[in-house]
Amino acid sequence: MADATVFEGKQSWRRLLFLHWAVPPEAVRGVVPRELPLDLRDGSAWVTVIAFDIRSARPPLVPPGLGIDFLETNVRTYVRLAGGEPAIWFFSLEASSALAVAAARLAYGLPYRFARMERGSEEGAEVYRTVRRQGPGAPGLEVRYRVGSSREPAAPGSLDEFLIERYALHVVRRRAVRTVRVRHRPYPLREVEVDSVSEDLLAAEEVDRPDTAPLAHFSDGVDVDVLRVVGD
């Protein structure tokens, strides 16, 4: 019997800033479970930090007004199952909601951490900050950026599509690979200029990245269905 999906809830993802760096495959191979082949682009692996807002996250049958809102930052790379579709593997995820952290860790086994997070503006730039709630020296992110006009969506086969249009994530629990899917329209994109970025979330997961400006994408957001994949 083929795998099936079970609807698990809805979320709205808003004001997503994607920051990407190309890295040698060996920079992530020792951290990503061996069960998951890396998905490379022109011989390079990629790592991405995404800072965004989650609005009205809720399980099935719960009205939008009763959902929860929080900030999230996730840190990821790109994988496939053998012969399978493109997917994501998360090094870590930060959230400003303790409830969201507990629920995601319990339901999916995802490596969520509770963090102090804020979004604001300074001198015409948007500013997004997060620091894990684990005492002095905790890893975090501070990024300043400016959003511009609308641009074309990611073209099929492009690097843009490779990096942002991913609809499955894999979790390895007890050496078994489990999959969660999301369903949404392609991301509407806008031009974005990153003024500065300081982050050590990748280093906290023992992933080295180049000390160069990231490739960046920005989207005003999408409405999302969350689906758990179940086997026979």
Tell me the domains of the chain and their CATH numbers: 4-230 (2.40.400.10)
Q: What is the mean pLDDT of residues 189-207?
A: 97
Contact at 8 Å (CB) between 53 and 68?
Answer: no
Q: Strand 68-80 and strand 140-151: pairing?
A: unpaired
Q: Strand 112-122 and strand 86-95: pairing?
A: parallel
pLDDT tens for 105-114 read 998 899 999 9
Q: At 4, is the pLDDT very low, low, confident or very high (cuts 50, 70, 90)?
A: confident
Q: Look at residue 232 in the predicted model and tell me its pLDDT.
A: 37
Q: At 48, is the pLDDT very low, low, confident or very high (cuts 50, 70, 90)?
A: very high
| Amino acid sitting at position 90 | F
pLDDT above 60 for 1: no
pLDDT above 90 for 102: yes
